Chain A
């Protein structure tokens, strides 16, 4: 019951955050000098002022700022981001087609990264090899940038060994090939997550292990395995959740580079190209989706706390 109101509160806060982010982004884009018509002009050269005015009117750029902001917000909530200047197609459709690829990448990488991190983190407190793996290999993984690691995997696993395709995307109608093409990018993205999560899990476990209730658990005849799962790992997961949420947020940024390396048609690469030509509808649509995703992760993490630590829901 407490948890329901707690969750509802988090959701409401999230919604307000989405609106705030949109206003900030809208203003930020408008404040930067220059507009898309100017950008087009610089490409095509001399255009008569009448045509410029007509274009501005067509894109709605002649309206005063507050009007445009309100109009923009109204459209956003109908998921109408307008027509891309660049592609002359509805921005929502373009983003939708790219979103799936990025989402797949993010979700799979997060899942494998976090799962592996918790596993290796737990293993590291129990065995010497595990400890060595996390303490020595972890920093190495973290110090190699994603695009370097990605390029290395392409070189080793596809060019030399020929086990996996080097890049590109296969349609979902061919699931085996589709997944095969995802292996390398997911590996590249999830390794640093696994390294970070393993380290956090390790330290969290080492701390919880000394708590009084762990002694109680042993004193009441629970097996070592049960004590570990019930009274150590379960309690150790709270900081892991915090870091996981942060890592997930960082992951969205990381996909931009990985999409480049593996030539994947994702949201990141779309955003980069949209910014360079000031394709407002596309930028705002993409940023809306990314920020909404980011905020959704945070809400999920907050609600996750409520489950992991009953005290969080009462604060």
Chain B
């Protein structure tokens, strides 16, 4: 594995990065040092604000004029600091390449995929247009882009996220770089796609012998791909070491904390008793939903969904993007029109194609994925909560709307009364999501639809928010549809799991059964794709593919 005789490709010493914010300097990274050897993968892990992405961008001088970078960045014996932009232009995309988090926006939407790839090749080589095209086609085949010939002449918006990330990788390896910087390259992708992309990177690395600097917040991904790991917090190194050492024997408290916050598949399964209440809150009877397409052709978002949720139970709805899991939540809340079947909520029937096919259901409240976007930036927290209560009072006149009641609810989710008159931008991400939970709780719902409520949060914050949510659920006893793409998370919070794929339910059952003995091949594929935060286990899984 790690070989001491290997050449050091990148050596960073005392890297410090300051940003000019208004008239003040803000220190983002302080005296960071690390090395990457040939063929080695170093993962920098950290939560948002740790400075990991800034570190990655600084290596290529991509931080813009407001950043001051000092220290030493030694790439193959050449010091890149202070930046010599003429030299950097020759280096970028040539000897050092980078791939980004959002493949959808990393490519220019107005040029064809093949052309963008060809442009990059021609930028660093003397190849003719035809030769460059040929090389581009070769690269697209190498990154295993399906139907590369067709895709070559298509625009980015015609490709999926995973396909675009393959194109980005093709771009990155076009000039056989010595170092590849991967800045959260799989964060925006589904787990099954993530697994494929990680496989591809590993394969290309062993074939081309490049080093990889991998930026991520996901310990599962770290365990899967990294040889060595560097943990960062608030712009400083917490600890570093080989992946195996770090996972088995973390030296620092912070690392231990982070590792224990990672939701893991098999740790807590079975902790939650399976609820067998017969009191049904919500029932779907062959519910169908079709969204109008651009040319009149509809997209079948839900296709004959049968589902029932009992009082006091947490059901995890799991699936990849486009599976229809969010649509189920929206139908439950009465936000989406159904065109087939019926929905029974608290004894009230909603018929497909009826006048009431979409109607707001007073008994349902929602917690949204993007807590920030779900709060009006111009309304104080107290006012936001009161607005929800006033609206709900139309159907539930017994609800209280007094400041005292609102403050009591806020206290319940761990928000101090001093936040009552604050604006959303004054709150942290975790606090905003607590407001979202308080809002959902305040109207005394019989069902809460939580749509990926923690996927925008850091793992440590995610854990506390999840714990809080679980506690409140047990205390208040509302039923809950917990929508998530993360099976590990589902295993921690739910008593039942429903797996969705392309608008259908492929499998449902008690959490423990789904996780230990899945009967559907798709569920199995989903389970196998989740990278486990354990490098040894991960390596074992890799050598014997399912």
Contact = CB atoms under 8 A, between A and B. Distances in A.
A311 B109 contact: yes
Interface of A: 211-213, 215-223, 230-231, 234-235, 308-311, 314-315
A215 B98 CA distance: 10
A311 B158 CA distance: 9
A308 B89 CA distance: 28
Nearest to B171: A220
Given A216-B107, A309-B110, A221 B94 contact: yes
B124 interface: yes
B60 A314 contact: no
Those 5 A-B pairs whose CB atoms lie nearest each other, nearest first: A220-B93, A221-B92, A212-B105, A213-B108, A221-B93
A211 B107 CA distance: 10
B100 to A, nearest CB: 6
Given A235-B110, A309-B110, A315-B294, A218 B92 contact: yes
B108 A231 contact: yes
Given A218-B92, A219-B62, A212 B102 contact: yes
A311 B108 CA distance: 12
A94 B365 CA distance: 70
B196 interface: no
Nearest to A216: B106
A223 B106 CA distance: 17
Contacts of B383: none
B432 to A, nearest CB: 24
Contacts, number: 66
B19 interface: no
Contacts of A310: 109-110, 155, 157
Interface residues of B, number: 28
A239 to B, nearest CB: 14
A212 B101 CA distance: 10
Of A211, A216, A310, most B-chain CB atoms within 10 Å: A216
B91 interface: yes
Contacts of A230: 108, 119
A222 B106 contact: no
B123 interface: yes
A255 B171 CA distance: 52
B90 interface: yes
A186 B155 CA distance: 40
A99 to B, nearest CB: 36
Of A221, A310, A311, most B-chain CB atoms within 10 Å: A221
A219 B96 CA distance: 9
A221 B171 CA distance: 12
Interface string B305-321: 00000000000000000
Given A222-B119, A308-B110, 9 more contacts: A212-B105, A213-B109, A216-B107, A219-B60, A219-B97, A220-B93, A221-B88, A314-B294, A315-B294
Contact of B107 (A213, A221, A308, A314): A213
A8 B123 CA distance: 37
B468 interface: no
A218 B105 contact: no
B62 A215 contact: yes
Contacts of B198: none
B195 interface: no
Interface in B352-410: none
A153 B98 CA distance: 55
Contacts of A215: 62, 100, 106
Nearest to B172: A220
